[in-house]
Structure 1
Amino acid sequence: MKVIQPYQPLLLRLVHGLTALFLVLAMITAYWTYDIYDGRWGQIPLPKFAEIEGIHGTFGLWTLLIFPTLVFYGFHQGKKRLIQANTFSKLTHINQKGWSYHLHRVINTLMLISLTFAVFTGKMMDEKWLPNGELDHVWYLAHLLSWVIMIFSLGYHLLISAKIGGFRFFLSMFNWFYKPQDDPKQWKNKIIHYTQNFQFSWVKHWWQKTFWLKWLELFIWIALASGWILSILKEI
């Protein structure tokens, strides 16, 4: 019997893969930074590397730069992978077929919220706080909390993904094969077509989307924009 491997859209694989790579590196260097400059809630003997905070900031910035593309994809082309109108009602039936898929949508949505919280609190921090021993700033403590939340969110994301798709699902995220409609050569024309044919009716259609998706998407875009604006104002 032939085993069919799940197919993931190429754009999803690229954006998801880059975001995951930068996020994991940011999380590792985040703990390293905490271990060197703080360590109030436990430490491990990591090398004292003063430049680690700057490296963490770089990985965090790369995550922030690619994250909006994942947000746009997730709430539009990939909206079926996020919370739906009937998600929570379906979650009450644990023994029902497809329950794991509904839980997967919740975890995917939680990942977007957690990452938004992480990058926003990161933008609110000042790079001088930790070297100066200023460890009680609200935004620093909030950023630490975001690291803990991301650990659990990422862990659950991997576990539920493995439960749904198994090893073949993970392989599909690293497969370089793509269908003709996913050809990168068509992306430029698709963007041009999208911008030239934008209609107000699409805004109306967005407004009629599932309550959760509509307001959550708006909240994330406002949070990302606010993070950039407020961080710029801090430097003025």
Structure 2
Amino acid sequence: MTQNAQKPMSQKTTPTRPYQPFLLRVLHGITALCLIAALLTAYWTYDTYDGRWGGIPLPKFPDIEGIHGTFGLWTLLIFPALVVYACRPGQRRLVQPDTFKKLAQVGKPIWWYTLNRITNTFALLALTFALFSGKMMGSSWLPAGELSHAWYYAHLISWVVMVLSLALHLLMNAKVGGAPLLLSMLTWRFRDKDSPAHWPNHLSQWWVVTQQGAWQGWFQPMTAMIALEISILVSLVAAWIIPLFKP
């Protein structure tokens, strides 16, 4: 018998499961949980204090606004770390310099991958808009029945945009990777080199090189991806600062 004929049938190759970096899964997972909780409590807040455009018969719960604000705050605290990761180690998952060129290849696999990158980027921008508009609101507006503020309308619009972007994000990832890709973001397994045990060492090394002046080249060269990162981070910082000067 030949050597090929002696190979057992059990040696058939199996499809490789997609692997996501563990840090990405942690940042993405925490942000997603806080965001979904914020979206749900945001609707309950609208239903309690507004409801002008219809709703479902939820119990009136005046404290829900504070709960929504808490989830929004948690999202705002973790989101910058996800932005930095997405725009640096994970930038291949976002829009690329040749995005418009690849969009011309309608129906081909690269077209779907490009659409997926666009929806991923859109989700980051939508969440930035939601967090910024939420911070611009006054905590006393809704309890006082003040429903005509521009920032309140902006925050309502951001809720709709965020829900749509989240749906597109899930649908496009399901399209390009199917269930294996979606499930790869939910598993807690990680490779040895990806272990959280290495994170303190990585952080200390980063701090050493930062002290040595590496931060001066943090935003060089100035690419579209770096510009996206800066614009989002500046918006998030402004969301903290601007309310301090509001009357």
Q: TM-score, normalised by structure 2?
A: 0.90
Q: TM-score, normalised by structure 1?
A: 0.94
C-alpha separation between the residues in 1 aligned to 2:215 and 2:123?
26
Q: Which runs of 5+ in 2 are unaligned?
A: 1-12
Query: Does residue 125 of structure 2 align to residue 113 of structure 1?
Result: yes
C-alpha separation between the residues in 1 aligned to 2:215 and 2:110?
31
Q: Which residue of 1 aligns with 2:4?
A: none
Where does structure 1 differ by over 6 angstroms across 4 or more consecutive aligned residues?
Answer: none
* 8 Å contact kept, 1:84–1:210: no
Give 1:51 deviation, angstroms: 0.8
Q: Which residue of 2 aligns with 1:206?
A: 219
Give 1:97 deviation, angstroms: 3.1
Alignment-mate amino acid for residue 154 of structure 2 = A
Give 1:170 deviation, angstroms: 1.4
Structure 1 residues 80 and 200 mapped into 2: Cα distance closer, same or farther (>3 Å)? farther
The one of 116, 120, 124 aligned to 1:104: 116
C-alpha separation between the residues in 2 aligned to 1:205 and 1:186?
22
Give 1:3 deviation, angstroms: 2.9
Partner secondary structure for residue 98 of structure 1: helix
Query: Does residue 198 of structure 2 align to residue 183 of structure 1?
Result: no
C-alpha separation between the residues in 1 aligned to 2:75 and 2:23?
16
* 8 Å contact kept, 1:19–1:63: yes
Identity of aligned residues (%): 51
The one of 96, 104, 109 aligned to 1:92: 104
C-alpha separation between the residues in 2 aligned to 1:73 and 1:51?
34
Q: Which residue of 1 aligns with 2:167?
A: 155
Alignment of 1:4-153 (within 5 A): 4-153=16-165
Q: Which runs of 5+ in 1 are unaligned?
A: none
**Which range is displaced more, 185-194 or 198-207?**
198-207
Greater Rg over alpha carbons, structure: 2
**Which range is displaced more, 193-202 or 117-126?**
193-202
C-alpha separation between the residues in 1 aligned to 2:216 and 2:104?
33
The one of 195, 199, 203 aligned to 2:207: 195
Q: CA RMSD in A?
A: 1.6
